[in-house]
A and B are shown apart, each in its own frame.
Chain A
Amino acid sequence: MKNIYYIISFIICAGFIFTSCDDSTIELDPIGDTEAGFFQTEDQMTQAVLGVYQKVTFFYTFRGGQNNFLQGIWQLPSDDLTTEANHAYEFFSGLNGNNGQLNNFYRFSYQLISRANTLLEKIEENGTIAYENQPELRDYHRGEALFLRSWMYFRLWNTYGTAPLVKERIVALENAFPPNSQGTELLDQAINDLEEAAQLLPEIWDDANSGRVTRNSALGFRGKILVFRGTVAGDNTDFISAIQDFDAMNGVSLTANYGDNFNAAMENNEESLFEFQANNQSSMNNAFLDNDSFAVVGDIGAYYGQFARRPTWIGNAVYSATPSLINEFDKEDPRINYIFDMEPGLVTNVVKYIKDGNWTDAPGGANGSSRNNPRILRYADVLLLKAEAIVRSGGNLSDAITIINQIRERARMSVENGIPSPEPADYSLSGMDDNTVLDWIFKERRMELACEEGHRWYDLRRRHMAGEIDLLTWDFDSKRIDLEFEDYHVNFPLPEIEVIENENMNQNAGY
């Protein structure tokens, strides 16, 4: 009996030895995909492309607090919108490298760039295998990555001026300390990339994929960046190239009604070149969580609560149109109705994107998160840039004025009752000098593109840098008494932590 006990014990013990020698306990694979096993098929590549687009979301969502949403960075500095809130880019004097929103803007920008760079790398590495079934997607995807990265370069240049140019995925820590970019380096790279993207991208996507960028998007955006570079660098060839790009576009036109551009039912229309595809599905949008960390609850909507005081507790972090902007318009300009609520004394007097509750979600939902797409690039912008390029390159002024009149005509037709408005009237085609026409163009840009994508600030900024206007004496029409603009404010401060930890990078002068 005792022997049997020993034998059984020994067998059990031996069993433990046997199982313990198995390596499988520590040679574990994670649940889910790793980088090494991904980027192998068209579907996976498409997911990676959408992962780049998805990062655009972060620039437009609420982010859960009155000091968290980023739109103010491009909306507030100009003379169009103003606020009482302590948003330093409104009054400049409070700007420094510890600004939370500016630091987030920087972080998200490089996250998008990193995704684009990773995708470009994987297309090179795995392209032959991954696109076996649909080889045409390979070019499209590369074009999309280049486009989105260029969009980011453009935003970085307009925000910080000297943010580092990162063209390749960073995989070693020692390569993570790039120097500042110089001059228009960010724009130069974007212009090159978009030239290639325009050759790679499709003319059009099918309905299921609408919202993705096309050849027209790349051409229009390249021309835009060329005009920007031309303004600050003073190189005439940039304007000539820009006009060529604009002329190469086809199949785009102005919508019949100005308001169609801000109507949730008319997204990705004939005037649209690039939009953030905002969504607001029930049980999907949690405006306090981001869409990288949670599968089903992150925010994928566009925030307009700064125009509607949503949620109510954001207090004074609401943006109002300045009298200076409202007074720019002719009294009977129909565009007024699509941009402003003219009721006297209103603090929330901007209705673009949130006009009538039915365009959004009552309007903008409890948290101000909306399904209405921000129109990042549209044809009206491109047309006015073309007019500008014509004037700046010494072209025929009447061609430029014709374009302005085209914009103004559409504005006159944008009435709800069908009877065209007499205002804004056409400009006379002859007898004008360059500066007058340029002034008309910038006035038209200010009105047509009011309160959208920071167009006004970006225009003021480049013109100040070019010496055409002087922002030191500019009337910003701000609600802040501590507004104080100095030359160095054309470039906002880089995140202090990035500058301190990177010996190759310097803070922008002045900060």
Chain B
Amino acid sequence: MVRNIGSFYAEATPIEGLRLRGTFSFDQFSNTQQRYYDQRRGVFEANQGVPYSGEGNTYRRRINENINIVKEFLIGYNKAFGDHSIDLILNAMDQKVQWNNTQFGIDQNSPLPDWDQRRIDEGWAREDKGLLFERSPSGLQGYMGRLSYNYNSKYYLDATVRRDGTSKFGHGYKWGTFPSFGAAWRISSENFANQSFINDLKLRIGWGKTGNQETRDFAYLSLVNFNPVYALGSGGSAIGDGLIQSAAALGDFPIVDMSWETVTTSNIGIDALMFNNRLSLTMEYYRRYTDGILQTINIPQVIGALSQPVVNLANVDNRGFELQGSFENNLGPFNYSIGANLTTVRNRVSNLYQGRPSGGNYDRIEEGRSMNFLRGYITDGIFQTEEEVANWLEANDDPGYEAQKSPGDIRFVDIQGPPEASDGENAFFSPNPDGRVDAFDQTFIGKTIPGYYYGINLGLKYNNFDFTIDFRGMGDVQRIFTNGLQSVGAGGGNFLVDYLDRWTPTNPSNTIPRAITDDPSGNNRIADRHVTDAGFFRFQNFQLGYNVSGNLLSRLGVSNLRVYMMGQNLLVFSPFPGLDPENDTTPTTYIMGVNLGF
């Protein structure tokens, strides 16, 4: 693996306040993998035990390259006259990204005995040689202008316009314009607000658009897929094999008018510093409105496409409050600080592409709901008697899941049906039960975007000791968790002890269905009974440090010496029954260290 990162710039200041700056930066990253398989390796493989017969050695080399080149040119001008000052920036940017994948290999049938050959071409039949070269280019260009003005450090105005073009979209859809505007009023600079306990008080508002273009390259084009092959005639490698011919097919269903996803952010906030800078407070209300979020959609199978098209799928509205506060003070020889923050999120989807919902059980997108919500069936416990089953079957159809329905199976609830004319034009279900349990009965069962996040941090200093501790958490969020709740099928693996408590005629459980192979009653369908609270409160971090000081150090030329101990991801408190509500694989880490500076 080799990586080169570099950046050059040249800057000129022809007159006072004016600067011209050109920047050229590149990032080249390559990853090379070489493989050699010895035919005799079979001796060491548990299922083989002897060398592979009829094979020789295999050589392979794979090289992945990423090249990212950015060129920028900036003109900046600033000037102050009297109480007025302005700052103007014009910037042009050009970015080229190239990804290359080169692979070659010589598979099997090699007479060469080991990897240390200078030339590995000899001795192979043509059909044993493989070569692949893939490339994928993309590019981005942007122009930006920003004008900032401030009057006497009291009023601030800031206006920006960006215009960005990308290779990701088709002709006529490549360019987007993104203006933004900000204003601030430093109230504390006004005479009437000149209170001694206020150090700084600022009211600010902002409004702006940004663009997002990240999606599959050339998603707007119908590309020819040359992967298919078909064999004709005879004369292949064995009797019955034909000669392989290259074939072609169109696999895309491009939506040509896909274009920039635009995020419009508006916010209003107050920043305050009080009591000798000891107390800091920030309050903000924000709204982030994403217009045309870029996402792939499932399209009807009758189209016969191989890939999913990318569309500007929906508008997503995020809004909420952000509150932050911190306080710092001395108490005798101690210095302590305490900080907290809270962010609330209300997420709503609107204006779906062609009015069509998309996504599955874990990432459903529907009008009026939060993005990627959890969707599934509603259940009502478990059948306890044959009579309950018979009564249920009397009232409900459950296609394909009826034949073996019996006590111990989940009782699903018919809540909705197929849309009728009276449900309106874009309805995709009817709120009236139709006597059948089917996909129309799946509904909102939980959300994956937390309703709020928060964090708390504490700090303490005493002489040369310092100690910090961080907590963070989130709430109003759910996850689907199926462990221990599904029908136990045939053997072949380990089972959770939870299953000892499954439904049996003598153990009438209402949570875990009976044991039966192949789940003929569809008990395992994702439903409300799988939804669990994934909120948590996490002891994220602590650090205890000691700064060694003294004449001895300076005499040794050491400018600082710090000894510390820290821990990360220490504890999590959550109703979630799995290992971790966020990520099972995040480790708990303890670090002891010494920082030495000369």
Contacts and interface: CB of A to CB of B under 8 A. Distances in A.
Residue with the highest number of chain B CB atoms closer than 10 Å, among A8, A34, A173: A173
Given A47-B247, A54-B247, A176-B299, A208 B223 contact: no
B250 to A, nearest CB: 6
Contacts of A182: none
Interface string B283-321: 000000000000000111111111000000000000000
Contact of B218 (A30, A280, A503): A30
Given A47-B245, A112-B304, A500-B418, 4 more contacts: A9-B11, A291-B229, A292-B306, A359-B240
B163 to A, nearest CB: 12
Contact of A47 (B140, B248, B305): B248
A21 to B, nearest CB: 8
B299 A511 contact: no
B236 A13 contact: no
B151 interface: no
Contact of A300 (B229, B233, B439): B229
Contacts of A497: 298, 439
A117 B253 CA distance: 14
Contacts of B123: none
Contacts of A173: 253, 255, 299, 354
A208 B22 CA distance: 62
A472 B547 CA distance: 87
21 contacts: A9-B12, A13-B21, A19-B94, A20-B93, A25-B140, A26-B165, A26-B174, A96-B399, A176-B303, A208-B243, A211-B232, A211-B242, A277-B242, A280-B240, A281-B237, A292-B227, A293-B306, A371-B238, A482-B403, A497-B439, A502-B300
B161 interface: no
A54 B403 contact: no
Interface string A260-288: 00001101100000000111111110000
A433 interface: no
B400 A25 contact: no
A501 B518 CA distance: 28
A9 B74 CA distance: 12
A248 B138 CA distance: 57
A500 B520 CA distance: 22
In the complex, the 3 A-B pairs of residues with the closest C-beta atoms, listed nearest first:
A114-B304, A96-B400, A264-B240
A16 B96 contact: no
Interface string A45-84: 0011011111101000000000000000000000000000
A264 B236 CA distance: 12
Most buried by A among B10, B298, B418: B10
A28 B139 contact: yes
Contacts of A283: 107-108, 128, 130
Interface stretch (A86-94, A228-236, A380-388, A403-411): A86-94
Contacts of A20: 71, 73, 92-94, 141
Contacts of A26: 139-141, 165-167, 174
B400 A493 contact: yes
B166 to A, nearest CB: 6
B404 interface: yes
Contacts of A22: 94
A12 interface: yes
Contacts of A264: 239-240
B555 to A, nearest CB: 44
Interface string A86-116: 1010010111111100010011001111110
B72 to A, nearest CB: 7
Contacts of A34: 221-224
B60 to A, nearest CB: 12
B242 A279 contact: yes
B22 A15 contact: yes
A17 interface: yes
A35 B399 contact: no
Interface string B409-450: 000000000110000000010000000001110000000000
A467 interface: no
B518 A86 contact: yes
Contacts of B255: 173
A106 B248 contact: no
A495 interface: yes
A99 B127 CA distance: 40
Interface of B: 10-12, 14, 20-24, 71-73, 92-96, 107-108, 127-128, 130, 132, 134-141, 165-167, 174, 217-218, 221-234, 236-251, 253, 255, 298-306, 354, 356, 399-404, 418-419, 428, 438-440, 517-518, 520
Contact of A17 (B92, B138, B141, B404): B92
B305 A114 contact: yes
A36 B139 CA distance: 22
Interface in A137-186: 164, 166, 170-171, 173-174, 176-178
Nearest to A358: B239
B301 A498 contact: yes
Contact of A16 (B92, B225, B303): B92
Given A9-B12, A26-B140, A174-B354, A164 B251 contact: no
B20 A35 contact: no
A333 to B, nearest CB: 26
Most buried by A among B94, B136, B227, B305: B227
Contacts of B520: 86, 94, 482
B354 A209 contact: no
Nearest to B131: A296
Which has the most chain A C-beta neighbours within 10 Å: B136, B236, B300?
B300
B449 to A, nearest CB: 24
Contacts of B518: 86
A209 to B, nearest CB: 5
A30 to B, nearest CB: 5
A249 to B, nearest CB: 22
B227 A295 contact: yes
Given A54-B228, A281-B236, A12 B403 contact: no
Given A96-B401, A176-B302, A502-B300, A211 B73 contact: no
Given A57-B230, A97-B438, A496-B438, A25 B139 contact: yes
A211 B238 contact: no
Nearest to A177: B300
A294 B520 CA distance: 35
A17 B75 CA distance: 11
Contacts of A214: none
A343 interface: no
A2 B267 CA distance: 47
B439 A50 contact: no
B300 A9 contact: no
Nearest to B438: A496
Given A47-B246, A98-B400, A25 B94 contact: yes
Nearest to A11: B10
B250 A32 contact: no
B439 A107 contact: no
Given A25-B167, A32-B224, A54-B247, A110 B108 contact: no
Contacts of B130: 283, 296
